[in-house]
Chain A
Amino acid sequence: MKIGLLALQGDYREHLQVLQTLGVETAEVRLSKDLEGIAGLIIPGGESTTIGKLAARYHLIEPLRVFARAKPVWGTCAGMILLAKEIGGEQPILGIMDIVVERNAFGRQVDSFQIDLEVPILPDGDSKTFPAVFIRAPRLVGVKGDAALIAQLPDGTGVAAQEGKWLATSFHPELTKDNRFHRYFLSLVEQRP
């Protein structure tokens, strides 16, 4: 089982390191041919406008949509923006998940923050909180259709969602030592033939 990291820009190496400590084979995806043989894809944190533009310029948008229809995809922060169907602005996105996302929803960098969240779907999620790091983060303003909220801030703001084999988080599990989100994503990949 090989997991791909969209490696156009952003903190893809942090994700690769977590996956490697879990003993998972990984691949960096920069062109559509790099998607061959991959069982699941992570779209990392980064600058969503940059990642979207590079994906469009190198003809990756449609191949990524085709990939996502068949296989699990997880987007963190910028990755969540790329997965959302609605982002309230003009920039290239995949637009596959039935979620409405607002970019830079918490303000500028001085308002970036970290907080421990309850995420019951995770292994030990009932008893152990998850350290969530928000960097100029987006938030969920709408979760529709088959998409479901899986984590919220204390004020109720939606910050993670799942829709079948697709996962989106406003925050960055790859910046922490807690690998439960990565293990959860791997379990989604393993469930599929």
Chain B
Amino acid sequence: MAKEDSATRGSGNSEKATATVKRGLAQMLKGGVIMDVVNPEQAVIAEQAGAVAVMALERVPADIRATGGVARMADPELIQKIMEAVSIPVMAKCRIGHFVEAQILEALGVDYIDESEVLTPADEMHHIYKHDFRVPFVCGCRNLGEALRRIGEGAAMIRTKGEAGTGDVVEAVRHARAVFGEINRLQLIRDDELMKYTKEIGAPFELVKETKELKRLPVVNFAAGGIATPADAAMMMQLGMDGVFVGSGIFKSDNPELRAKAIVAATTHYQNPEILAEVSRNLGEPMLGIEASSLPESAQLAKRGW
């Protein structure tokens, strides 16, 4: 390539898939809503409603619960069609530890991979070594140790697990409070006591130190798992989350278009109760939901992940 001589031209070499670039996309999604979709039509509805990205999957978590069986990565054909249908970023899920599903998703060119407890885990000890990939990953967590282990493996974005497919926000709140509470308490731990704390929570030392200095996780942190209403979304934002994932909550409700738009507005105007009251009106029935505390342990998806 002939390089012309011009004062305004760049000089350096371009670098892809750096931590800055991988974490950067998550930073662009902040203050937004990422919606689960199972076909291109739903993806278009999500984009029209103002979603910042869509999560392409075969069944939403509520249906995975209802039908049972092994839940796997979606058909590449479906993911491709969703990618062609919208101009916003498209994410897709692979099973915990299933690095070949992740390789396939990377080959498809998805914008983010969710190594997700919503699917049936493929490895009961190890998560994917995400540094090996050019595509960035988002992973679930229930507490600070779990979040930092995932970041240590290369996750460029974190989300709380909540309890997917329930429409019950209580677990998302529990996990958000756990992470923020631990970060707050971390400020009180002396530097010469950090190693002991690191051992207790099973997290990489350097990341514990970095989190203490930053007073927040080193990557973007979204809420997920049970968000079904504009009020749920705004509550997660007021608790300090950077944005929200809505899975079953939109397309399992009476009026997905209206509810999707309302949740987008509530995520932006989360501190404005007048707007929250306005967008919460006449949305029709939300998803019916299941009380998360009524689930037997074997049905609790958040327990998956190590």
A: which residues have CB within 8 A of B? 7-14, 30, 45-47, 49-50, 53-54, 57-58, 77-78, 89, 103-104, 107-120, 129, 132-136, 149-156, 172, 175-176
Contacts and interface: CB of A to CB of B under 8 A. Distances in A.
Contacts of B89: 47, 108-109, 136
Interface string B23-45: 01101111110000000000000
Interface SS, B side: loop
Given A120-B8, A154-B9, A13 B32 contact: no
A156 B97 CA distance: 42
A116 B13 CA distance: 7
B25 A135 contact: yes
Given A9-B32, A50-B32, A57-B265, A103 B87 contact: yes
B28 A77 contact: yes
A7, A30, A114, A176: which has the most chain B beta carbons within 10 Å? A114
B9 A153 contact: yes
B284 to A, nearest CB: 19
Interface size class of B (residues with CB under 8 A): 35 or more
Given A9-B268, A47-B29, A110-B135, A149 B24 contact: no
A113 B16 contact: yes
A11 B24 CA distance: 9
A110 B17 CA distance: 7
Interface in B124-142: 134-136
Given A78-B28, A110-B135, A135-B24, A49 B87 contact: yes
In this complex, which of A12, A103, A109, A133 has the most chain B Cβ atoms within 10 angstroms of its Cβ?
A109
Given A9-B31, A116-B11, A152-B10, 6 more contacts: A30-B269, A108-B110, A112-B16, A113-B14, A115-B10, A133-B21
16 contacts: A10-B32, A13-B30, A30-B269, A46-B32, A47-B32, A49-B47, A49-B50, A50-B51, A57-B261, A108-B89, A113-B21, A118-B8, A136-B28, A152-B10, A154-B1, A156-B6
B1 A155 contact: yes
B94 interface: no
A14 B28 CA distance: 10
A135 B12 contact: no
Contacts of B9: 118, 152-154, 156
A108 to B, nearest CB: 5
B4 A156 contact: yes
Contacts of B53: 47
B88 interface: yes
Interface of B: 1, 3-4, 6-18, 20-21, 24-25, 27-32, 47, 50-53, 87-89, 106, 109-112, 134-136, 261, 264-265, 267-269, 272
B21 A46 contact: no
Contacts of A50: 32, 50-52, 88, 264
Contacts of B111: 108-110, 136
Given A9-B268, A78-B28, A47 B21 contact: no
Contacts of A89: 87
Given A109-B112, A113-B21, A49 B268 contact: no
User: Which of A57, A103, A150 has the most B CB atoms < 10 Å from its CB?
Assistant: A57
Query: Ordered nearest first, which 4 A-B pairs have the shortest CB separation?
Result: A116-B12, A109-B111, A115-B14, A117-B10
A152 B6 contact: yes
Contacts of B25: 109, 112, 135-136
A10 B31 contact: yes
Most buried by B among A14, A49, A78, A107: A49
Given A49-B47, A114-B20, A115-B13, A10 B28 contact: yes
A44 to B, nearest CB: 9
A154 B264 contact: no
B30 A46 contact: yes
